[in-house]
Structure 1
């Protein structure tokens, strides 16, 4: 896919990509050097407000006071940092940064849990008196949750990588993905708890996820 995109991308696209490093100036006047200067301004802003930052979405209100090139500073008011991380640090400070990466760590733990459940589901289901067909239906449900978590993980990595050069902190993607992780892991934990607590009476229709339809019909 990447090779095809590279082969068919227009020169206009490559010219715009070159503005990231400052090799070419874009039509809007934004250059790689200005991006790096904004990062430096953001770092200076963070050093002046290290604990709780200047407040959410306030980077643009403060950047003109910290932009390293004085003659350009006046036109930087309202501009973004061109980076998730140089938005996070000056706006939210150390406290907010800890919370942000704490949520990422929580997402990672949910990912690990869902992968582990996929691995041990056979042993869990073996302790029940379900029919093979019923076990397969529940197994497919757990597998679906695992695959969903892998999709979330890929999207999260893409978000964090592209965030190096894009101010995506307050876009909805991170918060939606985190919500999806929480919901999916909670559903999986409910299923596991039911399997463990009702090993002799569990039926697929009693599992919380079966209320949304049999997974073997959508997997």
Structure 2
């Protein structure tokens, strides 16, 4: 009997879609720096859409393998959820419009950044774009302040700061709101620290200047949520690097309760005349959730029912999209944050030889993105920025970093599993529960 020869199974060759990443870089520059808006003549050009479409199509054609993890799958469900919630709340076409908007401006960027940031070098390129954008925004803000004529201060592309209780700098596009500008600057602080630690003497001196510029920019935004974000970021950095896991967990659980109580007593926002109005919005948002627990009141319906935004991204999502929607949104955030924290604590005291072939560089990138997202999560507690593009850009880069580390150490794959996502979805409700308890005590 002839011996049957088995043919080896061909393993598909990985393809990293270099051209798709090139267009992703152009997209990132267009979104963050927005050079096409420097002049009125080119401000309406659709560079952002063109670069996003080209990057997306090239990724589908040339990227192998395409990574579809638990976050990707659940986010694919999100547009359907938005539509169903809209119809059940008597706003069907509005739900369709919101679902389309989410797919284009949130889901596609998350897919691109999480799949195309395949190497540490690619992540460095995106980091440099972020830092460059932040410095241009600070310079623009400085020019706005220096050119202030008693009513307006002018910057690039007609961006301006307006007289009021204080002059608050702005930039172009969605950075026209000082809160969004401040949030981005806070999220760049860990990136500046990353390069500060890695560079030579000249590089260290340069990034010390970058950090000073970021702090100056944060001050010029006049955003109290942003100021709380930078102070909170420093506190979380100290806790993560010096405190035990139990104390960190206790601090994270208590933070929403303490912040809400202090706000209700004027401790954090004594200079803000709308402090109680913000707390009333949080309270109304929780009651919207209790009245429509499964699918919420429908995306973008919070303002119709309350009159203003919630000024709290967590409550805003829970109120509009209910238990299912918030669990997906919060679960996606918590999955990355818990994975990042585990990696920091797992390798912080180990030498290079004990890091299971994970490079110090990759771990440094992961830690940087962890703290950038800490900055987002703190500022998002005082702002309704639940679907801002910044969240999905940084969430995508953080997801890519997690998957690169999992690829190097497959034993860590449980950190990004569907089972872990389910746990994280439950953990994310701690913020809502603690805010509700604080409101019952303080109001």
| C-alpha separation in 1, matches of 2:368 and 2:381 | 21
Q: Cα distance, 1:169 vs. partner?
A: 0.7
1:165 corresponds in structure 2 to: 382
Change (3 A) 1:35 1:108: closer
Paired residues in the alignment total 156
8 Å contact kept, 2:369–2:394: yes
Change (3 A) 1:120 1:99: farther
| C-alpha separation in 2, matches of 1:24 and 1:117 | 42
Change (3 A) 1:120 1:50: farther
| C-alpha separation in 1, matches of 2:224 and 2:401 | 41
Deviates more, 1:152-161 or 1:95-104: 95-104
Cα offsets for 1:72-131 (capped at 9, x unmatched): xxxx2xx31111122022012112222223223321343256444684751477xxxxxx
Normalising to structure 2: TM-score of the pair?
0.30
Change (3 A) 1:56 1:181: same
8 Å contact kept, 1:88–1:169: yes
Q: Cα distance, 1:24 vs. partner?
A: 4.8
Residue in structure 1 matching 2:332, options 79, 82, 103? 103
| C-alpha separation in 1, matches of 2:326 and 2:223 | 33
Normalising to structure 1: TM-score of the pair?
0.57
Q: Cα distance, 1:178 vs. partner?
A: 2.4
1:199 corresponds in structure 2 to: none
SS state at 2:293 partner: coil
Change (3 A) 1:122 1:48: same
2:353 corresponds in structure 1 to: 122
Q: Cα distance, 1:42 vs. partner?
A: 1.4
Q: Structure 2: where are the runs of 5+ without partners?
A: 1-210, 228-265, 411-443
Residue in structure 1 matching 2:317, options 77, 81, 88? 88
| C-alpha separation in 2, matches of 1:157 and 1:98 | 19
| C-alpha separation in 2, matches of 1:59 and 1:13 | 26
Change (3 A) 1:191 1:120: farther
1:189 corresponds in structure 2 to: 406
Change (3 A) 1:191 1:105: same
1:52 corresponds in structure 2 to: 295
CA RMSD of aligned residues (A): 3.7
| C-alpha separation in 1, matches of 2:224 and 2:299 | 32
| C-alpha separation in 2, matches of 1:15 and 1:188 | 36
SS state at 1:168 partner: coil
> For 1:10-49, what aligned pairs fall within 5 Å after superposition?
13=222, 21=269, 23-25=271-273, 31-49=274-292
Cα offsets for 1:139-169 (capped at 9, x unmatched): 6xx2111111111111111111112211111
Q: Structure 1: where are the runs of 5+ without partners?
A: 26-30, 64-75, 126-137, 194-219
SS state at 1:50 partner: coil
8 Å contact kept, 2:370–2:398: no
2:304 corresponds in structure 1 to: 61
Change (3 A) 1:114 1:33: closer
Change (3 A) 1:61 1:15: closer
| C-alpha separation in 1, matches of 2:407 and 2:278 | 47
8 Å contact kept, 1:85–1:164: yes
Change (3 A) 1:24 1:172: closer
| C-alpha separation in 2, matches of 1:13 and 1:179 | 29
